C-alpha cells in the first residue's frame, strides 16, 4: 500500500527526530516568536535528505505528484508554489516562441498578459460572451474558436479560462474537439475549478473534457494554503521537457514545504471525502438558491447565466446574488453584510455580490447568509435605479506585442495629447472587465473619444495609473 501523504509524513518524521537544525530556513524551526506562526515553522523545512527536490523529484515529491496526477486523471501533474499564475506563465513560455500567435479571451486573468510578455507571443483575441443584465463576461464559444483558427491558421495554441470567476464553464469538450482537429494544443486556466474533479455535481473538468494542459489554483477552492496550485498535463503532453524546464526556471529554489504538504493533504482529503461533501454542498446550494430567490428584490443567478451562449455548467458553490430588483446596489449590500452580520463576500459589484461557499461551510453558514439577506432586503424595500450599460468600442490596432510594449520605455501624457500614441497601460471597465485598451495598442480617435467618455462616466476603471483618466501612459 503506497504512503498516501509521503511529503507530510516525511516532514513529521523529521520534526519528530528533534534534529539540531544547522540548515535553512533561518528560523531553525523555533525562531519565530509568535506562537501560531512558529507552529507552522516546525514543518517549514528545506530540501534536506528525505525531503526530495521539487526541481528534480525522485522521492517523496515525485510520489506525491504521481498521486496528484492519479486523483485528477492527468498524464502528469506538477506542484506550483506561486499560485496558478506561475503555471500559466510556464505554459505560455514553454509552448511559444517569440512571434507565435496564441488565441485567448481578451478578459483573461492578468497572468495571461504576463505569459505573453515572457514568451513574446502575439495575442489573437476571442470574443467573450457577456450576460447583458449583470454585464459580466462569462464564456468563449466553440464557433468563435473555429472561426478564428480558420482565419488564422498560424495560431500556435489556444489558451482559455474555464470556469469564469462567476462559476460558469465553457464547452471545453467541443473546443477540445476543434483544437485537436486543427492539431493545436488546448490549454485551460481552471484556477477556480479544482474541486470539479471530485464530484459529478460540478461541471466536467477541463482535463476530462480533452484539454492538453490545465492549471488549478488549488488554494482557491480546496483546503490548501495560499499560493498552492498545480499544473496537469494530458497523456499527450506528459513529461514535455520544454514545460519541465520552464517550470524549473520560474520556480523558487526554496519551495514552501507547508504549501506542498497542504496540497497533498487536500488531495487525500478530497479523494476520501470530496464526493460526499460536495453532494451535501450541492444540496445546500439548491435549497438556498430557492430560498434566496423568494426574497423580494434579490435573485440567485442560474438560468440567466446558463442561457448565455457558450456557457455549459455552473459551479454550485458560487452564489451570484443579483441586486437588480433591490433598492441597494452590490457595494451597499456587501457593506451591510460585512458591518451588520460579519459576512465578507468574495466580490461585489454594482449589480451583484458573489458569495463563494466551500465544502467546509455547513448549513449554519448558508442559513446565516440567507437570514442576513432576508433582513437586509426587508429593511431596504423598493426597487433601485437601473445602472447604465457601458458599451465597448472596436478593438484598436495592435502596433507592438505585449512583450515589446512591456520592454519599451513609457511616459505620462495628458489624455488630450495621446492621439495616435501607443498605449503603455491597460484600461478596463468593470463590469464587464474586458480591457478596451492594452499596452501596445494604438490610441486612435475612436479610442481617445471613448476614454474621454469613460473619464466622465463615473464607470469603475482598472489598469491606468491615473484612474481619473486625466493622463495616460504611452510608449515613449
Ligand atoms: C481566472 C484566474 N486565473 C488565474 C488566477 C491566478 O491565480 P493565483 O492567484 O493562484 O496566481 C486567478 C486569480 O485570481 C484567476 O481568477
Stated pTM of the model: 0.96
The reply to whether ligand 1 has any atom less than 6 angstroms from the CB of 159 is no
Ligand 1: nearest atom to the Cα of 189: 3
Burial environment of residue 31 by CB neighbours within 10 A (0 to 12, 13 to 18, 19 or more): exposed
Q: Say how many Å lie between the CA of residue 220 and the centre of ligand 1.
A: 8
Q: Say how many Å lie between the CA of residue 307 and the centre of ligand 1.
A: 25
Backbone angles phi, psi at 106, to 5 degrees: -70, -20
d(CA 472, CA 438): 12
Assigned C-alpha cell, 178: 476543434
Q: Say how many Å lie between the CA of residue 246 and the centre of ligand 1.
A: 19
Query: Where exactly are the structural domains of the chain?
Result: 6-269, 277-379, 402-475
Assigned C-alpha cell, 224: 490548501
Q: Say how many Å lie between the CA of residue 333 and the centre of ligand 1.
A: 25
Output the pLDDT for position 383: 78
Ligand 1: nearest atom to the Cα of 161: 1
The reply to whether ligand 1 has any atom less than 6 angstroms from the CB of 193 is no
Q: What is the per-residue pLDDT across 72-126, written as a single tens digit (0 to 9) for each?
A: 999 999 999 999 999 999 999 999 999 999 999 999 999 999 999 999 999 999 9
CATH fold group of domain 277-379? 3.90.1150
CATH fold group of domain 6-269? 3.40.640
Instruction: Tell which residue, 440, 443, 442, has the closest CA to residue 405.
Output: 440
Q: Say how many Å lie between the CA of residue 109 and the centre of ligand 1.
A: 6
- Which residue minimizes the CA distance to atom 10 of ligand 1? 83
CATH fold group of domain 402-475? Ornithine Decarboxylase; Chain A, domain 4 (3.90.100)
The reply to whether ligand 1 has any atom less than 6 angstroms from the CB of 111 is yes
Instruction: Mark the ranges of the chain whose per-residue pLDDT is less than 70.
Output: 1, 384-390
CA 343, 348, 351, 353 dihedral sign is: negative
Ligand 1: nearest atom to the Cα of 82: 11
Ligand 1: nearest atom to the Cα of 219: 10
d(CA 409, CA 470): 20
Q: Say how many Å lie between the CA of residue 437 and the centre of ligand 1.
A: 21
The CA-based angle 282-283-286, given to 5 degrees, is 85
Q: Say how many Å lie between the CA of residue 229 and the centre of ligand 1.
A: 10
Output the pLDDT for position 430: 82
The reply to whether ligand 1 has any atom less than 6 angstroms from the CB of 84 is yes
Ligand 1: nearest atom to the Cα of 220: 10
Amino acid at each position: 500500500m503506497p504512503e498516501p501523504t509521503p511529503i507530510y509524513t516525511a516532514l513529521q518524521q523529521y520534526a519528530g527526530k528533534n534534529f539540531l537544525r544547522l540548515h535553512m530556513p533561518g528560523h531553525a524551526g523555533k525562531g519565530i516568536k509568535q506562537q501560531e506562526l512558529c507552529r507552522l515553522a516546525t514543518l517549514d523545512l528545506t530540501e534536506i535528505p528525505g525531503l526530495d527536490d521539487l526541481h528534480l523529484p525522485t522521492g517523496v515529491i515525485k510520489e506525491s505528484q504521481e498521486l496528484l496526477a492519479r486523483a485528477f486523471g492527468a498524464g502528469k501533474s506538477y506542484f506550483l508554489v506561486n499560485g496558478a499564475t506561475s503555471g500559466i506563465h510556464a505554459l505560455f513560455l514553454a509552448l511559444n516562441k517569440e512571434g507565435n500567435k496564441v488565441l485567448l479571451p481578451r478578459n483573461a486573468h492578468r497572468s495571461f498578459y504576463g505569459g505573453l510578455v515572457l514568451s513574446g507571443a502575439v495575442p489573437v483575441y476571442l470574443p467573450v460572451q457577456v450576460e447583458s443584465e449583470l454585464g459580466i463576461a462569462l464564456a468563449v464559444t466553440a464557433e468563435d474558436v473555429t472561426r478564428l483558427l480558420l482565419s488564422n491558421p498560424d495560431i500556435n495554441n489556444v489558451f482559455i479560462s474555464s470556469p469564469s470567476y462567476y462559476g460558469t464553464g465553457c464547452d471545453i469538450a467541443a473546443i477540445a474537439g476543434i483544437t485537436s482537429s486543427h492539431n493545436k494544443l488546448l490549454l485551460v486556466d481552471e484556477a477556480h475549478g479544482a474541486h470539479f474533479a471530485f464530484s459529478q455535481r460540478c461541471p466536467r473538468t477541463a482535463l476530462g473534457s480533452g484539454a492538453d494542459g490545465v492549471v488549478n489554483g488549488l488554494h482557491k477552492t480546496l483546503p490548501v494554503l495560499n499560493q498552492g496550485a498545480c499544473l496537469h498535463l494530458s497523456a499527450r503532453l506528459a513529461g514535455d521537457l520544454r514545460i519541465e524546464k520552464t517550470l524549473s526556471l520560474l520556480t523558487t529554489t526554496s519551495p514552501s514545504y507547508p504549501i506542498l504538504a497542504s496540497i497533498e493533504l487536500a488531495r487525500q482529503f478530497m479523494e476520501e471525502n470530496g464526493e460526499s461533501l460536495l453532494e451535501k454542498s450541492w444540496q445546500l446550494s439548491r435549497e438556498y438558491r430557492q430560498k434566496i430567490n423568494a426574497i423580494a428584490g434579490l435573485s440567485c443567478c442560474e438560468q440567466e447565466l446558463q442561457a448565455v451562449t457558450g456557457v455549459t455548467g455552473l459551479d454550485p458553490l458560487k452564489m451570484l446574488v443579483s441586486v437588480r430588483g433591490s433598492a441597494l446596489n452590490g457595494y451597499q449590500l456587501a457593506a451591510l453584510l460585512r458591518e451588520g452580520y460579519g459576512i465578507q463576500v468574495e466580490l461585489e459589484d454594482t449589480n451583484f455580490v458573489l458569495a463563494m461557499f466551500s465544502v467546509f461551510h455547513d448549513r449554519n453558514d448558508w442559513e446565516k447568509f440567507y437570514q442576513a439577506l432576508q433582513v437586509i432586503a426587508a429593511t431596504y424595500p423598493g426597487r433601485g435605479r437601473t445602472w447604465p450599460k457601458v458599451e465597448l468600442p472596436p478593438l484598436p490596432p495592435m502596433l507592438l506585442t505585449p512583450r515589446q510594449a512591456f520592454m519599451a520605455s513609457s511616459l505620462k501624457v495628458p489624455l488630450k495629447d495621446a492621439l495616435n500614441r501607443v498605449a503603455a497601460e491597460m484600461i478596463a471597465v468593470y463590469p464587464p472587465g474586458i480591457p478596451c485598451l492594452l499596452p501596445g495598442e494604438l490610441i486612435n480617435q475612436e479610442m481617445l473619444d471613448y476614454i474621454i467618455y469613460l473619464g466622465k462616466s463615473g464607470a469603475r476603471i482598472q489598469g491606468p495609473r491615473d484612474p481619473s483618466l486625466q493622463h495616460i501612459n504611452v510608449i515613449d
